Amino acid sequence: MFRPRYARTLVSALLIPIVLVGCKPDAPRQEARVDPAAHDAFYLWPGVRPAANLHPRTLYLLDGEVRKAGAPRFDRLRMGVPRLPGAAVWLVVRTERLDWDAATYAALLGDLERWHQAGNRVMGLQVDFDAATSGIARYAEFLTDLRQRLPRRWQLSVTGLMDWSAHGNPEDLVRLGSVIDEVVVQTYQGRSTIPGYEAYFRRMTNFPIPFRVALVEGGTWQAPPMLANQPQFRGYVVFLTRSAAGRRELAQTSGPAGR
């Protein structure tokens, strides 16, 4: 049924303010800087100490590296054994290769035991490796072997790329999830947040593995809305880049696995 012309004109006039209000440009999204004081889980590399206002409940401590050059060898970077009885502690090994030898496994397992004997509440081992999305299946094979060597009292964690959620083979991710206890998803490269991270997290609705999200101190971050409702989301880990004494910058310019 058609309305009389005057009625249509009146309705149009009344709607004009509403339409104009509806067309108002969206305000630009404000991304906050990552403030470590708002978190309680941290990556801590040798040479960096948490500021006095931080109260860590979980610490991921880099113990050493397995570098690509030469024969596989565990190079210990942390002097001595940490003594942090008040926090849950993960021993982190940063590796550029997966062909570990017996001595590498023995060194890591020995350090886990020493850290435990020193009174630390050791959660387990984290492997920090840049596994390409296309290489998840091979990485799962390596981790399956590592899991068999690792005493069951300790958990197994890995760092992961945001691209895993967008392009990872679901079957490979399920297999990976059957071996490890968590993935810590890296959102930064060097000391800057990777642009466009929101698009990756929109693809994590059905991510099959418990995961944390790693942020870099001082980087930009606005939590994607889906995270709060993701059943596998376990919280954040902040990569600290400055020391407590004078906030001296960390000599290494990259976060976990050079991201």
pLDDT digits (tens, 9 = 90+) for 192-234: 999 999 999 988 888 999 999 999 999 999 999 889 889 999 9
Q: Residue 9: is it exposed, middle or buried by C-beta count within 10 angstroms (0-12/13-18/19+)?
A: exposed
- Provide the pairing of β-strand 220-221 with 32-33: antiparallel
Domain spans in the chain, listed from the N-terminal domain onward: 34-258
Sign of the dihedral through C-alpha 222, 228, 232, 234 = positive
Is residue 141 helix, strand or coil? helix
pLDDT at 206: 86
Is there a contact between 95 and 128 (Cβ–Cβ < 8 Å)?
A: yes
pLDDT at 30: 62
Share the mean pLDDT of the chain. 85
For residue 247, pLDDT beyond 50: no
CATH numeric code, 34-258? 3.20.20
Is residue 161 helix, strand or coil? strand
